[in-house]
Structure 1
């Protein structure tokens, strides 16, 4: 839409310079002056043939007409005002649109644009408040549920990029990821001094994608981070103006990276064969493509419904029982707060995602049937370790679909009646009577859920640290 507004401004600029009215130019190119007015106001997209005629009558080239640069400083302000008033932040206020006509003084126009800039900056500063984060997370999770967690456009894009890299089977290599970056005009550079708040940094001016040191063990993380940086460019992302947009972009780049590391064609073939053998296992899927257990589990949710005819649920749960990530389209009732958010909520102690922490041997998946008010679910859980604590990764399906999975013969079975507090939250009478009034404690906050992201141009990233980093490494490219 902003391109149409710029085009309209350029048509108006050259028409005025030629001394023609709307009707006079319209007569020459065969359209009504009112139609030209819509084009100049960015509300109608002209055909290329009409643009060619307009350029000829105005004595300019088609390339000059299609240039995306505003023709004058005044036009740049008008375009910025138009764009600001079409943004969701402004339209959501229900206020009228102000037209920057020729009679509007320049200082008034500058004041209006400055006001919109200030409002946008305030919006960015409040971009990651806990309440907004929870609501945005909830909206995204519910939206992905309607899509069965499957994004066909990104699947096709990833398939194309992987094919062009020359990859055919097995785990995607660092070299192939490097070739993907090269096709976009970028070099992968591994550095030790990334800003502490950034996972990667893309220098658009010098064609570099900066990543952590290449010596990091495993390698999946580096491939994934590089692919995510590449995805921002391929998907045409711009600086997010809301936390919801930030989350959408994060979901899309993660999805793209997973779809490259575990390409749809090979992944569906692998999982379909496993289903035919009644031997689906996330750990096998993980090992076949050289990724983490969590990446494999999430990728499985992308493909399960659309390609395997299976409904599923996924949980990443901390060792304190709090949900970090969750998805379901199989009817499992996730724990939610009054806003509908599940992040930070405690799952039932009897669910597999918490029961697995009690195991002594954590090297293999833990299997369990769980009876709930919504039905019986079979679940597979793997324990993982982060820099700060342990977490569990769970994939589950309704009882009827357990027949397709390894571990269906498990004898582990628990009954959960949550959200009934008597299930696992309320102590029995004797225990409560023994300790009531005789203890004092202090709660540990779920900082990952409640802490807002630092404000900046990019949510969560320190601008000063980021720009200083780029300035330092730009000197390397000049040298």
Structure 2
């Protein structure tokens, strides 16, 4: 396989060059010149030269004739790997010079004649790898991450948070279990992994910043032991790891692609845990009874409240005709993630990013913390400049602190949900500062200019994302981990 070939996207030109290199390899091995091979297959040597140099793609009949003349199978010529080290380097350099990154340098394209030594070729390829690495490192900053995340969120809004292609992929995998009912069990997840050629293994020494590691060669998916209690983490993490294989992911070439892949595997795992057809039928029946509730979807499929609320957003518009919103906030009222296609006015910065923005104190995701009893869902109507919205909020505690999960709809659609009869109602005028960000007169008069807090510094504000094949993951630690465990096997 071409070294680092997974770092550069294949295109038709690269595929033609790969085919040409394989033809040339077998021609030389057979001891034939271009003229001699041309005589055997009925074409001139110049045409074969164009094919070997990747400038022309042979017709199938000619390719079959070449394979017969070289005494190899046609499939052997079509294999997706370079025939030797020299060819691998030439292909990688050709791909690198086709990237926009190289075009920006405004340098002439380097030809690769026989006179170019292997050492020189190795150096050129190494320089391009480093150039690509530095380009990625420059892009892997919090600012770029926020821009990429905002683009993805807006794209999902345009698609109503529904991805039919991922629904089909999840349905195809789940069909391997045959007809089934109830929540997806641990053993069934292991069976799905086995059907893809993987064994699930729990390891207590996973490198920091890794949620799981897949050993593609050994057919193992390593998960943290902490994912076992309760079952939710185990099933979801394992399905996400399988999602990379099912969806044909390659190592991400940019931070935006990394985020896109994360979104896809999360969606895929949710679609496996809460299958579309069964969930749609369940929700449609609840809507007919005017008894829609996140907690019912949660309990029916044995997932977390957050997973159920987020999955509801995937299906609500497509299958129920409802426009909705969903968000998670921490105990300090900071918005951690959000989705809406119903017009709820999320706070956002100048780039459109909502993550990290302070949530209005009068929204359900914050007022829910004011209750004494937080074990049940909290319902509230909120008047906003964009209209009135009904919301259901659930609070919880995690290692990082308290959080709330909120799901809601515009006022007119509250009639379909349990909790619509609530009398709790607030009025929010955010982003007007007088709504909740300006202290009341008495407090302002008493304390303005007389207080000086020592604010907590968030380390991620100044830190670039760690570099590596995958953002935030130390390649060396990952490879050392795999070496330890492969030796144990």
Q: TM-score, normalised by structure 2?
A: 0.89
Q: Aligned equivalents of 1:403 and 1:42: distance in 2?
A: 63
**Counterparts in 2 of 1:158-177, with a 5 A limit?**
158-166=170-178, 168-177=180-189
In the TM superposition, residue 167 of structure 1 has moved relative to its aligned partner by: 5.0
Match of residue 465 from structure 1: 477
Describe the superposition over 1:8-66 as per-residue Cα deviations: whole angstroms up to 9, x where unpaired: 322344567632269958982699949x83x5565776554442233234443313311
Match of residue 316 from structure 2: 304
> Is contact 2:382–2:389 with CA below 8 Å preserved after alignment?
yes
> Is contact 1:25–1:33 with CA below 8 Å preserved after alignment?
no
In the TM superposition, residue 245 of structure 1 has moved relative to its aligned partner by: 1.1
Q: Aligned equivalents of 1:31 and 1:402: distance in 2?
A: 75
Q: Aligned equivalents of 1:433 and 1:325: distance in 2?
A: 35
Quickly say closer, same or farther: Cα 1:32–1:379, change in 2 above 3 A.
farther
Moved more, 81-90 or 436-445: 81-90
> Is contact 2:336–2:356 with CA below 8 Å preserved after alignment?
yes
Quickly say closer, same or farther: Cα 1:288–1:45, change in 2 above 3 A.
farther
In the TM superposition, residue 297 of structure 1 has moved relative to its aligned partner by: 0.8
Q: 3-state DSSP class of the match of 2:292? A: coil
Match of residue 102 from structure 1: 113
Of 18, 23, 42, the match for 1:28: 42
In the TM superposition, residue 87 of structure 1 has moved relative to its aligned partner by: 4.1
**Counterparts in 2 of 1:220-369, with a 5 A limit?**
220-369=232-381
Q: Aligned equivalents of 1:462 and 1:340: distance in 2?
A: 31
Q: Aligned equivalents of 2:108 and 2:153: distance in 1?
A: 33
Match of residue 444 from structure 1: 456
Q: Aligned equivalents of 1:286 and 1:450: distance in 2?
A: 38
Match of residue 419 from structure 1: 431
Match of residue 370 from structure 1: 382
Q: Aligned equivalents of 1:80 and 1:60: distance in 2?
A: 25
> Is contact 2:193–2:242 with CA below 8 Å preserved after alignment?
yes
**Counterparts in 2 of 1:13-24, with a 5 A limit?**
13-14=25-26, 18-20=32-34, 24=38
Quickly say closer, same or farther: Cα 1:207–1:104, change in 2 above 3 A.
same
Q: 3-state DSSP class of the match of 1:455? A: coil
> Is contact 2:38–2:45 with CA below 8 Å preserved after alignment?
no
Q: Aligned equivalents of 2:384 and 2:235: distance in 1?
A: 39
Q: Aligned equivalents of 2:247 and 2:271: distance in 1?
A: 14
Quickly say closer, same or farther: Cα 1:89–1:134, change in 2 above 3 A.
farther
Match of residue 213 from structure 1: 225
Quickly say closer, same or farther: Cα 1:423–1:159, change in 2 above 3 A.
same
Q: Aligned equivalents of 1:230 and 1:412: distance in 2?
A: 44
> Is contact 1:344–1:449 with CA below 8 Å preserved after alignment?
no
Q: TM-score, normalised by structure 1?
A: 0.91
Q: Aligned equivalents of 1:476 and 1:131: distance in 2?
A: 41
Q: Are 1:73 and 2:59 counterparts?
A: no
In the TM superposition, residue 342 of structure 1 has moved relative to its aligned partner by: 1.0
Match of residue 18 from structure 2: 6
Match of residue 56 from structure 1: 68
Which stretches in structure 2 are left out of the alignment for 5+ residues?
1-10
Q: Aligned equivalents of 1:379 and 1:201: distance in 2?
A: 38
Q: Are 1:152 and 2:203 counterparts?
A: no
In the TM superposition, residue 473 of structure 1 has moved relative to its aligned partner by: 1.2
Q: 3-state DSSP class of the match of 1:383? A: strand
Q: 3-state DSSP class of the match of 2:113? A: coil
Quickly say closer, same or farther: Cα 1:176–1:268, change in 2 above 3 A.
same
> Is contact 1:322–1:347 with CA below 8 Å preserved after alignment?
yes
Q: Aligned equivalents of 1:385 and 1:442: distance in 2?
A: 25
Describe the superposition over 1:208-231 as per-residue Cα deviations: whole angstroms up to 9, x where unpaired: 111122783210110101111111
In the TM superposition, residue 85 of structure 1 has moved relative to its aligned partner by: 3.2
Quickly say closer, same or farther: Cα 1:47–1:228, change in 2 above 3 A.
farther
In the TM superposition, residue 3 of structure 1 has moved relative to its aligned partner by: 3.9
> Is contact 2:380–2:390 with CA below 8 Å preserved after alignment?
yes
Q: Aligned equivalents of 1:284 and 1:438: distance in 2?
A: 50
Match of residue 132 from structure 1: 144
Describe the superposition over 1:82-105 as per-residue Cα deviations: whole angstroms up to 9, x where unpaired: 2223446446x3746725342772
Q: 3-state DSSP class of the match of 2:42? A: helix
In the TM superposition, residue 448 of structure 1 has moved relative to its aligned partner by: 6.2
In the TM superposition, residue 343 of structure 1 has moved relative to its aligned partner by: 0.9
In the TM superposition, residue 233 of structure 1 has moved relative to its aligned partner by: 1.1
Q: Aligned equivalents of 1:357 and 1:50: distance in 2?
A: 72
Quickly say closer, same or farther: Cα 1:15–1:251, change in 2 above 3 A.
same
Match of residue 431 from structure 1: 443
In the TM superposition, residue 410 of structure 1 has moved relative to its aligned partner by: 1.0
Which stretches in structure 1 are left out of the alignment for 5+ residues?
none
Quickly say closer, same or farther: Cα 1:22–1:161, change in 2 above 3 A.
farther
